[in-house]
Amino acid sequence: MPDEQSPATEPKSVNIGEPWERAYWARRFMVPVEEVQAAVEAVGTDPATVAAHLGREWPGHEPIV
């Protein structure tokens, strides 16, 4: 059996219920936490929609492995 890792999957929603989640998305989109919160309130939790609202690409970087 080959020693291969399966590719990391992208999150399906932008959850901001916990401080660590807000910090993750702020780093991921490279914007302040307040901008992530405002974007989610404005357009919902779909990562691609939030990224577009913030002027960022999705997924925006190579998957974390």
The answer to whether residue 8 is domain-embedded is no
The answer to whether residue 59 is domain-embedded is no
For residue 47, give the 3-state DSSP assignment: helix
The answer to whether residue 10 is domain-embedded is no
The answer to whether residue 33 is domain-embedded is yes
Per residue in 6-64, pLDDT (tens digit) is 567 888 999 999 999 999 999 999 999 999 999 999 999 999 999 999 999 888 665 55
- Number of domain units in the chain: 1
| Position 5 pLDDT exceeds 80 | no
State residue 3's pLDDT score.
53
Structural domain of residue 26, as residue ranges? 19-54
- Cα torsion for 64, 10, 59, 5, to the nearest 10°? 40
